[in-house]
Structure 1
Amino acid sequence: MLTRVADRFSRGIQRYLPDAFVIAVLMTIIVIAVAIFFNSSEPVQVVAAWGDGFWTYLAFTMQMVLLLLTGMVLASVPFIKKGLSAIAQFANTPTKAYLVTFLVAAAAYYINWGLAVVVGAIIAREIGKRNKRAHFPLLIAAAYAPTVLYTAGFSSSIGLTIATEGHFLEETMGVIPTSATIFHPSTIIIFLVLAISIPLFIILMAPKRDISSYEPPSESNQMTFDVPKKESLTPAQKLAYTPVLGMLIGAIGVVYTVGVFLSGRDLDLNLINLFFLSMGLFFHRSLGQFAQAFKQSVGSISPIVLQFPFYAGIIAVLGGSGLGDAIINGMTSVATAETFNVFTYWAAGFINILAPSGGGQWALQGPLQIPAAIELGVDPAMTAMAVGWGDAWTNLIQPFWALPILSVVGLHIRHIMGYCILLSVWVGIITSVLIYFLY
């Protein structure tokens, strides 16, 4: 039954779902219109809030772009690609194909969601090449589905933000170590339950007929490196393609990041970005090859660079007009100490549809949720993680973060969104229950 439902739902979504950029613009117009309706005497101020907020998150945008790019460049290292190809050989049935794709992508998402984008794309592509009985859109959905797990991993934007000294809520909640958030036993339990149940749900959705097998994308979507022959290198090119410089500066970066982490500094976005940048330099060896990988990765994230300011504008309107406060306070005002984090999770999921940015959403939601949590006697660290889980949950139905992986494999958001929406229903139910009993 689930297979039939997923098939019909996917077909309907493919026909009617607009492009992701169109969705971003439509959401912008709708949020501005609703904000003006509730602030009819201040339409100019609402539009001004949007314009002023359009560039508010440039620094955070750069951090997120680097997080994604450094992960993608590291995933394109030849020996990592060869390892993923070797793993793909074990996925010789459709069931194994979906399971292996999900588990490999989930491991990558736990490490770094930027790394996971290319790891998921590569493993799905390699499995799709070898297994023509696997439905390729569902393979890509399986590669993207672990996005709901990233909030419990090393690149959790909220978990790392509140672990960074000087974060904007430090006076209210202090600096919260990752041992109280992403490494807390309750968070680990939620992670494991989702990591086990989601691939089973995906397998149950797998179509038995009308299989769309893998078709190679255009050459522009594939990582290729043009390394000049040694005998034709000029002195300047020799500097670019000698392995000495890349490995040396990469090693310096790795030594620094590992050293400061072992000396007591907690993980934060800047430290992780430098670590993955350094690892990419070291394993690509030459500066020229690293620069080529970086350049080719940039094309895959261009939709994010284009659309992020629009969502930053939405966040500014939600915050400046009071509309965001109304949504969040309306959902949490009826909560008790026992249900507060569940309502926080639901509110975060809804806000994330309008503004898909963990850090930007935390900037909007944190100042409202944390004081309320403290007043009710709820652990603010758990409330922060509830916001993170809500943000990750509706990533499944907000197409923004799926764009890079789709660009790599040459599919459109319409091909996977039907499956992702059904997955979001399951994730929302099971995570709500777990948050209620564990947080």
Structure 2
Amino acid sequence: MSTENRAGTGLLAGSGPAAEDSIPFLERLALRVTAWCEKWYPDAYVFVALTLVVVALGAMAIGASPHQVSVAFGEGFWSLIPFTMQMAMVAITGYVVASSPPMTRLVTAAARLPRTGRGAVAYVAFISVMVSLLHWALSLVFAALLAKELARRRNLAMDYRAAGAAAYLGMGATWALGISSSAAQLQANPASIPASLMPITGVIPFSQTIFLWQSVLITLVLVTLSTLVAYWTAPAPGRARSAEDLGIELNITADPLPRRERPGEWLEFSPALTLALVALGLGWVWHEFTTKPVLVAISGLNTFNLIFILLGMLLHWTPRNFLNAVYKAVPVAAGVLIQFPLYGAIASILTAAAGPDGHTLTHHLSDFVVSIASHDSFAFLTGIYSAVLGFFVPSGGGKWLIEAPYVMEAANNLQIHLGWVVQIYNAAEALPNLINPFWMLPLLGIMHLKARDLVGFTFAQFLTHTPVVLFLLWALAGTLDYQPPVMP
């Protein structure tokens, strides 16, 4: 089938309504939304720029002056620089590790299981959501590498866009319910809880958040649902578009290196420096894991990135091989570097630009939710609020610090289990990730896709996840009894 016949909606060219009706509903929905996105969905940079303008206008609508909004913009623009660097390194190190011969062999072995294109997409989805419970960044990187390797198997007839969306599912379904949950980690560690928040929430251990049986149940439901929807939305053979159809080059093997020609290049082609640096780095990693709880040590993004850098050094063996891989990897981080500062500005305007009453946009939203919530409706309404705010402030830990004082105070007043409120936040705030390109950027860089390629498939996940998550949050809230804040 020609590329032209696979373009547009992804349906067979020249097929009539009857032929289209024979396509399963979720697949047809994903293909139609994808076709719409290919025509109308802007680049991720344009998306965040438009969001910034909307938030700025919203701040002025509640009475903030243009000067206040501009100041908030400037002060927030660089607020995510440490996180921006961390995310850029996630993309770069993921590419560096992927381009090494040993990792290529490992991922190739992991890609041998699927026998069909749809099965391959579901397989990637399952791996993504399961690995995200351990670490969200590892999920993004490994699932992206796995999807790329599966795409090389032409006999699978796998849709590369659907595989990319499946690789991303850990960030939109389960990551916040796992051990790398920012909110759960913050509440479990007395040293990380702000002094103003401590009297409201107290210390909430993992046993009262991510390890509640209610939380485990939601996780199992989402793992199953994500995998099934990924399978049902994956285009069948004849409608699937491969990486080749999309004009994407999958070969990322390092170019052959020239021989050493001068004495000064000896160290570049020797593993001596690599082994010395790796030894130093492993000493620090050992220190982290022996002086901190394992769940805390493994969740740190700095630790994750350092381990991947060391792994990349070892897998490429010589400094010259490693540097060549880094040079080729840097472009995959371009979207992260230029777009994350804009998200920092959005968060600043939401939380710093206040109207005459001293309230910001986030205050107005939270006050509205708290004012209409009751004991029975609290979980449902808080879930909606967290999801809406998560669309504009896609930062698990930072957004929790914005929301926690209001929602946890209301939870105390309404006698809601405080650990469950954390899980309401975790489950709901991940939902907008399915349609917001913020967290997609590292994966898009690794897979050489655009957000519009993924959103049609992730939108179908969003439509199925949202009612299920909100219902479970509401239904399971009644199985938990309120416990007053526990002070350290």
Same fold (TM over 0.5): yes
Matched, 1:333 2:371: yes
Q: Distance in 2 between matches of 1:180 and 1:239?
A: 51
What is the percentage of aligned positions where both structures have the same residue?
27
Give the aligned partner of residue 183 of structure 2: 158
State the alpha-carbon separation in 2 of the partners of residues 14 and 185 from structure 1: 41
Q: Where do 1:6-17 residues align within 5 Å?
A: 6-17=30-41
> What's the offset of the Cα at 1:417?
0.8
Q: 2:192 is paired with a residue of what secondary structure? A: coil
Give the whole-Å Cα distance in 2 for the aligned partners of 1:379 and 1:387.
Answer: 13
For the pair shown, the structure with the greater C-alpha radius of gyration is 2
Distance 1:230 1:78, change over 3 A: same
Compared with structure 1, are the counterparts of its residues 207 and 278 closer, same or farther at alpha carbon in structure 2 (3 Å cutoff)? closer
The aligned runs of 1:238-317 (5 Å cut-off) are 242-261=273-292, 264=293, 267=296, 271=300, 273-274=302-303, 276-278=305-307, 280-282=309-311, 284-285=313-314, 286=317, 288=319, 296-317=328-349
Alpha-carbon distance in structure 1 between the residues aligned to 2:182 and 2:94: 15
The whole-number CA distance in structure 1 between the counterparts of 2:163 and 2:26 is 17
Deviation of 1:416 (Å): 1.6
Q: 1:221, 1:409 within 8 Å by CA — same for their partners in 2?
A: no
- 1:202 is aligned to 230
| Gap change, CA 1:409 and 1:108, over 3 Å in 2 | same
Question: Which residue matches 2:455?
Answer: 417
Q: Which has the higher helix share?
A: 1
Is the deviation greater in 12-21 or in 237-246?
A: 237-246
Letter in 2 for 1:146: G
Cα distance change, pair 67–356 in 1 and its aligned pair in 2 (3 A): same
Structure 1 residues not aligned, in runs of 5+:
none
Counterpart pick for 1:405 among 426, 429, 443? 443
TM-score w.r.t. structure 2 length? 0.80
Write the distance in 1 (CA, Å) between the matches of 2:401 and 2:86: 15
| Matched residue, 1:352 | 390
- Following superposition, the deviation at residue 194 of structure 1 comes to 0.7
Tell me the secondary structure at the aligned position of residue 224 of structure 1: coil
Deviations 1:272-330 (A, max 9, x none): 52255136415632572555555554432331222122122111221223111212232
How far 1:64 moved relative to its partner?
Answer: 4.9
Could you tell me how far apart the structure 2 residues matched to 1:70 and 1:327 are? 38
Q: 1:206 to 1:61 in 2, by over 3 A?
A: closer
Indicate if the aligned counterparts of 2:29 and 2:460 stay in contact, CA closer than 8 A.
no
Return the letter of the residue paired with 2:186: T
Distance change (3 Å), C-alpha of 1:29 and 1:349: same
SS at match of 1:301: helix
Match of 2:13 in 1: none
Distance (whole Å) between structure 2 residues aligned to residue 356 and residue 26 of structure 1: 15
Amino acid at match of 1:190: I
Aligned AA (2:60): I
Q: Is the CA contact 2:126–2:226 (under 8 Å) kept in the aligned structure 1?
A: no
The RMSD of aligned alpha carbons is 3.0
Deviations along 1:102-123, one digit per CA (max 9) or x if unpaired, are: 1222233223222222212221
Partner of 1:149: 174
- Checking the alignment, whether the CA contact within 8 Å between 2:77 and 2:342 is kept in structure 1 is yes
What corresponds to 2:419 in structure 1? 381
How far the C-alpha of 1:252 sits from its partner, in A, is 0.8
Q: Which residue of 2 aligns with 1:5?
A: 29
Counterpart code for 1:224? A
SS in 2 for 1:39: coil
3-state SS, counterpart of residue 336 of structure 1: coil
**Structure 1 SS opposite 2:421:** helix
After TM superposition, list the pairs within 5 Å mapping 1:24-63 onto structure 2. Answer: 24-39=48-63, 42-63=65-86
- Structure 2 residue matching 1:365: 3-state secondary structure: helix
